[in-house]
Amino acid sequence: MHATSILSTWAGLLPAQHEAAGAAAQVAGAVDGPAIAALAPLLPLLSFVLCGLCAAFKVRSKLPAWITVACLAASFAAVVATTLDLREAGAGSVMVTPLFDWINYSWGTEAGQHFRANFAFHIDSLTCLWMLFVTGLATLIALYASEYMSHDVGMGYCRFFAAFSLFVFSMACLVMGDNLVLLYLGWEGVGLCSYLLIGYFYKKPSAVAAAKKAFIVNRIGDLFLALGIMLCWVHFGSVEYREIFARVGPSLELLREGKVDQIPGIVQLIPLLLMVGAFGKSAQLPLYVWLPDAMEGPTPVSALIHAATMVTAGVYLIARTYPLFLLSEYALPIVGWVGALTALLAATIGMAQFDIKRIMAYSTVSQLGYMFCGLAVLGSVGAAAHVFTHAFFKAMLFLSCGAVMHGFAGQLDLRKLSGVAFMKGWGVVGIAMFVGCLNLAGFPVITAGYWSKDMILGDAFATPGMQAIGWILLLTAGLTAYYTFRVFFRVFVGPKHFEPGDELHAHDDHGHGHDDGHGGHGHAAGHAPSHADFHPHAPGWAINLVLGILAIAAFAAIVPLMTGGDNGPWLASMVDGSSAKYLGVAASQAAHAAGHGDGHAHATFFGYDAHKAMMVVSGVVGFIGILIAYLLHYAGRTTAARSKADSLLPAFGPLATAAQHKWYVDEIYDLLIVKPLWVISNIFALIDKYVVDGLVDFLGWAPRAIGRSLRPSQGGELHGYAIGMAGGIAVLVLIVLLVTF
More confident residue, 316 or 576: 316
Give Cβ neighbours of residue 198 (< 8 Å, ≥ 6 apart).
Answer: 207, 210, 211, 214, 293, 294, 296, 297, 301, 305
pLDDT band of residue 676 (cuts 50, 70, 90) is very high
What amino acid occupies position 94?
V
Among the listed residues 275, 319, 604, 338, the one whose alpha carbon sits nearest the alpha carbon of residue 463: 604
Lowest mean pLDDT among 219-223, 529-533, 698-702: 529-533
Q: Is the pLDDT of residue 584 over 70?
A: no
pLDDT above 70 covers a percentage of the chain that reads 89
More confident residue, 252 or 176: 176
Q: Tell me the DSSP string of 78-142.
A: HHHHHHHHHHHH-TT--EEEEEEEEEEEES-SSTT-EEEEEEEEEESHHHHHHHHHHHHHHHHHH
User: What DSSP character marks residue 569?
Assistant: E
The answer to whether residues 601 and 457 touch, using CB atoms and an 8 Å cutoff, is no
Return d(Cα 339, Cα 348) in angstroms, integer: 14
Return d(Cα 581, Cα 16) in angstroms, integer: 12
Q: What is the pLDDT of residue 30?
A: 67
User: How many Cβ atoms sit within 10 Å of the Cβ of residue 78?
Assistant: 22
pLDDT band of residue 589 (cuts 50, 70, 90) is very low
Give Cβ neighbours of residue 4 (< 8 Å, ≥ 6 apart).
Answer: 260, 329
Give Cβ neighbours of residue 274 (< 8 Å, ≥ 6 apart).
Answer: 224, 225, 228, 317, 318, 321, 324, 325
Return d(Cα 580, Cα 592) in angstroms, integer: 19
Q: What is the pLDDT of residue 682?
A: 93
Q: Are strands 114-123 and 417-418 parallel, antiparallel or unpaired?
A: unpaired
pLDDT band of residue 363 (cuts 50, 70, 90) is very high
Among the listed residues 221, 369, 373, the one whose alpha carbon sits nearest the alpha carbon of residue 287: 221
Average pLDDT over every residue of 239-260:
84
CA 547 → CA 73, 296, 358, 535, distances in Å? Answer: 17, 22, 20, 22
More confident residue, 520 or 358: 358
Q: Is the pLDDT of residue 52 over 60?
A: yes
Q: Is the pLDDT of residue 591 over 50?
A: no
Among the listed residues 486, 499, 493, 491, the one whose alpha carbon sits nearest the alpha carbon of residue 410: 499
Q: What is the pLDDT of residue 375?
A: 92
Longest pairwise C-alpha distance within the chain? 120
Q: Is the pLDDT of residue 530 over 70?
A: no
**Phi and psi angles of residue 417, each rounded to the nearest 5 degrees, phi first:** -135, 145
User: 180-200 pLDDT, tens per residue?
Assistant: 999 999 999 999 999 999 999
Average pLDDT over every residue of 404-422:
91
Q: Could you tell me how far CA 451 lies from the centroid of its own chain? A: 22
The answer to whether residues 294 and 302 touch, using CB atoms and an 8 Å cutoff, is yes
Average pLDDT over every residue of 466-473:
93
Q: Is the pLDDT of residue 510 over 50?
A: no
Lowest mean pLDDT among 7-21, 102-116, 310-324, 621-635: 7-21
Q: Is the pLDDT of residue 32 over 90?
A: no
Q: Is the pLDDT of residue 720 over 70?
A: yes
Q: Is the pLDDT of residue 487 over 60?
A: yes
Q: What is the pLDDT of residue 515?
A: 42
Q: Is the pLDDT of residue 4 over 90?
A: no
pLDDT band of residue 506 (cuts 50, 70, 90) is very low
The three-state secondary structure class of 378 is coil
Average pLDDT, the chain: 85
Average pLDDT over every residue of 282-297:
91
Q: What is the pLDDT of residue 426?
A: 93
User: 157-185 pLDDT, tens per residue?
Assistant: 999 999 999 999 999 999 999 999 999 99
